[in-house]
Structure 1
Amino acid sequence: MSADRGRILIVDDEQHAREALAVLLEEDGYDVRDAPDGFKALGVLRDWECDILVTDLRMPVMDGLTLIKKAREEFPELTCLVMTAFGSVENAVEAMKSGADDYLTKPLNFDAVEIVIDRALERTRMRRELDRLRNGVSLGGATTQMVGNSPPMQKLKGMIDQVATSRATVLITGESGTGKELVARLIHERSDRSEKPFVRLHCSALAETLLESELFGHEKGAFTGAASQRTGRFEEANGGTLFLDEIGEIPMATQVKLLRFLQEREFERVGGNQTISVDVRIIAATNRDLEQEVRDGNFREDLYYRLNVIHLNTPPLRVRRGDIAPLASHFVAKYARQNGKEIDEISPEVIEALSQYDWPGNVRELENTIERAVVLANGTRIEMSHLPDNFGQTSFAPNSEIRIPGSTLEDIERYAILKTYEAAGGSTSETAEVLDISVRKVQYKLKDYRGE
């Protein structure tokens, strides 16, 4: 089903009600998915870019208000609707005070449903357009921003510009939180596929059978619960880009099928025998060492080389400290807008503290820290009191007081590894090569220094 009208996730513990609403919306041209409870809904949201969340208010595992709160923590721009029993409008009003955008009453009147959803989609589109205009981004151009001009980022931006116009498969590596999906989106937006879909799949979030169905689609009756034919991500991304996040997590059987697609550009849906050909560019990402996974027998060598035609590495934040201040300012502006606040300054003490911290969670951790500070701020400036109480107590930086004689061998080793790692732009393989030690030892030492 086309997603032109919008993507909607329905959450209701009543199976028949959930499926009936899904069918009605699909027939009206929406791309619809459903979930029986809040926990499963959050899993879907993390793997599927959604326009509207429609949730029942009263559910046993996680009620609708809690789901909306948790969903908004991860997806602040998500439009949320609640469904409540007729005669319980006061519950719906309370839900709207708690963050819902609108409500529907049960039993549902489809004409009313369509009006509310159309209204919600219009608000969503207007909100996105306003954000783009505030950021000075043309609606006809790229919307993704990469903040930072440190040497590692200049190198990465140059590589993105070089590879964007090609058709080659790209493998993006780097620690969690370094912006691998951002890089993938930039490549797509700067390519001749930018007007076609950018489709994302988080490979570690699904069981093997579900992963194959998500990738390749399935025929009706292919397995229990396959009530109708469904297109997969490859077909959804036809003409565009498919981003496979955490590619190192996919099981061997699925690796074989993915390899076949990369070789022949065709596949069959699960339970089907019709061969389907699509034009899709693959961009994959992982925080694992795939070369080591190949040596350990967990990842196919031929698939690794098919994926690793072009290799990009996203540097950790601790090796691009010059980007911390501009990133912080960017996130302050973003979350001040979202929270309706006028914050135009970060205190020098905060900038100093942010710049000295080692950010084991990378840009994602910095963003979360700034969002918290913005929420807590009651003036126009971010102060130290707005940072977490224990902020900055962990350190990943090399000891700058190395003295010979006067330093232990352990201190000298730490200094050598971290300084080389920083100079190598966060590449463990280059660090190992320069120091003439194994990649495994570098990885082990880095984890030890982070306290993992």
Structure 2
Amino acid sequence: MDKILIVDDTPAVLQALSLLLEIHGYEVITTTSPQQAMQYVNQLRVSLVIQDMNFTGDTTSGEEGKSLFYQMRELNPHLPVILITAWTDLEQAIELVKAGAVDYIAKPWDDQKLVNTIANLVALGKATTASAKLERQQDVIAKAQNQAEATGLVFASANMQRVVDMAVQVAKSDISVLITGANGSGKEKIAELIQQSSTLNTQPFIKVNCGALPADLIEAELFGAEAGAYTGANKARVGLFEAADGGTLFLDEIGNLPYSGQTKLLRVLQTGEFQRLGSVKTLTTKVRVISATNSDLLQAIASGEFREDLYYRLNVIELALPALAERLDDVMPLVQHFLGDRQISIAAEKALLAHPWYGNVRELENACKRVSVLKPEGVIEPSDFALLEGRSDLLVTPQATPTAGNNRVDMNGKTLGELSTGSTKSVAEPNKADLETAMREHHGVIAKVARQFGLSRQALYRRLDKHGIEY
């Protein structure tokens, strides 16, 4: 039912207009307070406003009504506002009509004319009302939720639709796919979609985060190891390529795979053959490989950190996942997915759409979890999401980037100084705030954050895990 808000300081006017509009099937909300009116517009998403021009006794200047109108326009530029005026307010009413008010009526008003005006605005859509906008948004959200049930994804943007369409298309073949995008943007979900949409959907689907494993264990994890192949290997270990035989292996953070592991991975992709650590026996496997990275592999190739031939073997098809800030149409569907049918104010929605979302969907999900815990009931306002943008008290001066050269590295991967200078330059250990700030500034790109602090990727991952920072 369409909500009509009436703002007038005369109870008799409120009563007469309420009765008239309720008879014609509208839900009516009334107030004598401009401040209360703004709260209603923000929280109740009214379809149309009828407002007086004066709200204080013996006041005839119309400035109060003018101020209220412009406040509502700033909050919701598409909200239809009808002005109800005395003859002394006519000049200002005309000014506000030029500024966007849809109509004005004089006191006493013509009932039929007023009802017809409202019917035209609400039912026939001669103006873009807030309720019509909400209905369209709900349609998009419903469509996105239907797709989420089938794919595990929640989206409504054209950018994501293109990625999903291509993912479903490439899923029909067995070619290797490289998914690129910032941390928290949904790369793993796209990998799951490819697996679900492929002919291998009943076969093993094994995931491994190459960046979360110590460098000396990644090869054993991928290819297996014989007993005694390394310290602590008391029995033979089956690698993920063996376990995924006939199915799909998802290699997340592929840019962190050590060079020796890259060489073995290339051989598997080329021939289907590999050897366990500590063994000379050649094993065979048939596995589809989907990989993902948030780093710039071309830059890693240029710096000698990543094999170019492996890159092109992995990147037969690249699915570039846009950051959440590049697909704002997904924000509110995701919020509704995380928060259910919770009511969100217009001001909160505007704040969510204006936020840069450096942490992408993961940051948005965390913000929604916070709301669920700290404000389980009531209308959700911008402050409830505790968005950090602009909080200067949480920002720290980043550490200086070490100068490139022959750096000496400690057992944790920490850069101590340049051997070429003969000096030892101590680099301060980053604290949690330093790391969080750097992750925001570099949009979660691990390689750039590690470079800022003079750390290896593995050393940075250990510090992120230590401080409980998601990546």
Shift of residue 391 of structure 1? Answer: 3.8
Shift of residue 270 of structure 1? Answer: 0.9
Q: Distance in 1 between matches of 2:201 and 2:301?
A: 33
Residue 346 of structure 1 is matched in structure 2 by 344
**Mean CA deviation greater in 187-196 or 377-386:** 377-386
Tell me, yes or no, if structure 1 residue 191 matches structure 2 residue 198: yes
Larger Rg: 2
Tell me, yes or no, if structure 1 residue 315 matches structure 2 residue 322: yes
- Asked if 2 retains the 8 angstrom alpha-carbon contact of 1:350 and 1:382, the reply is yes
Alignment length (residue pairs):
257
| 1:175-324 alignment, distance < 5 Å | 175-324=182-331
- Compared with structure 1, are the counterparts of its residues 448 and 230 closer, same or farther at alpha carbon in structure 2 (3 Å cutoff)? closer
- Compared with structure 1, are the counterparts of its residues 448 and 285 closer, same or farther at alpha carbon in structure 2 (3 Å cutoff)? closer
Q: Distance in 2 between matches of 1:268 and 1:324?
A: 46
Higher relative contact order (CA 8 A, sep 6+): 2
Residue 367 of structure 1 is matched in structure 2 by 365
- Asked if 2 retains the 8 angstrom alpha-carbon contact of 1:329 and 1:346, the reply is no
Q: Distance in 1 between matches of 2:241 and 2:270?
A: 14
- Asked if 2 retains the 8 angstrom alpha-carbon contact of 1:374 and 1:382, the reply is no
Q: Distance in 1 between matches of 2:442 and 2:277?
A: 43
User: Which residue type is aligned with residue 214 of structure 1?
Assistant: E
Partner secondary structure for residue 346 of structure 1: coil
Residues 371-425 of structure 1 deviation map (CA, whole Å, 9 limit, x = unaligned):
111111131543334221x544279xxxxxxxxxxxxxxxxxxxxxxxxxxxxxx
Q: Distance in 2 between matches of 1:229 and 1:262?
A: 23
Residue 90 of structure 2 is matched in structure 1 by none
Residue 390 of structure 2 is matched in structure 1 by 393
- Compared with structure 1, are the counterparts of its residues 324 and 136 closer, same or farther at alpha carbon in structure 2 (3 Å cutoff)? closer
Shift of residue 447 of structure 1? Answer: 5.3
User: Which residue type is aligned with residue 187 of structure 1?
Assistant: I
- Compared with structure 1, are the counterparts of its residues 279 and 358 closer, same or farther at alpha carbon in structure 2 (3 Å cutoff)? same
Partner secondary structure for residue 305 of structure 1: helix
- Asked if 1 retains the 8 angstrom alpha-carbon contact of 2:358 and 2:443, the reply is no
Shift of residue 145 of structure 1? Answer: 1.7
Match of residue 171, structure 1, among 170, 173, 178: 178
- Compared with structure 1, are the counterparts of its residues 302 and 268 closer, same or farther at alpha carbon in structure 2 (3 Å cutoff)? same
Q: Percent identity, please.
A: 46
Q: Distance in 2 between matches of 1:156 and 1:394?
A: 34
- Compared with structure 1, are the counterparts of its residues 168 and 142 closer, same or farther at alpha carbon in structure 2 (3 Å cutoff)? farther
Match of residue 356, structure 1, among 332, 354, 357: 354
Shift of residue 226 of structure 1? Answer: 0.6
- Compared with structure 1, are the counterparts of its residues 303 and 448 closer, same or farther at alpha carbon in structure 2 (3 Å cutoff)? closer
Q: Distance in 1 between matches of 2:212 and 2:443?
A: 29
Tell me, yes or no, if structure 1 residue 325 matches structure 2 residue 332: yes
TM, length-normalised to structure 2: 0.51
Q: Distance in 2 between matches of 1:192 and 1:448?
A: 38
- Compared with structure 1, are the counterparts of its residues 311 and 368 closer, same or farther at alpha carbon in structure 2 (3 Å cutoff)? same
Partner secondary structure for residue 175 of structure 2: coil
- Compared with structure 1, are the counterparts of its residues 137 and 218 closer, same or farther at alpha carbon in structure 2 (3 Å cutoff)? farther
Q: Distance in 2 between matches of 1:378 and 1:269?
A: 52
Shift of residue 209 of structure 1? Answer: 2.4
Q: What's the C-alpha RMSD, in Å, of the aligned pairs?
A: 2.9
Q: Distance in 1 between matches of 2:323 and 2:235?
A: 44
Shift of residue 344 of structure 1? Answer: 3.0
User: Which residue type is aligned with residue 384 of structure 2?
Assistant: H
User: Which residue type is aligned with residue 308 of structure 2?
Assistant: E
Q: Distance in 2 between matches of 1:241 and 1:449?
A: 29
TM, length-normalised to structure 1: 0.53
Q: Distance in 1 between matches of 2:295 and 2:342?
A: 39
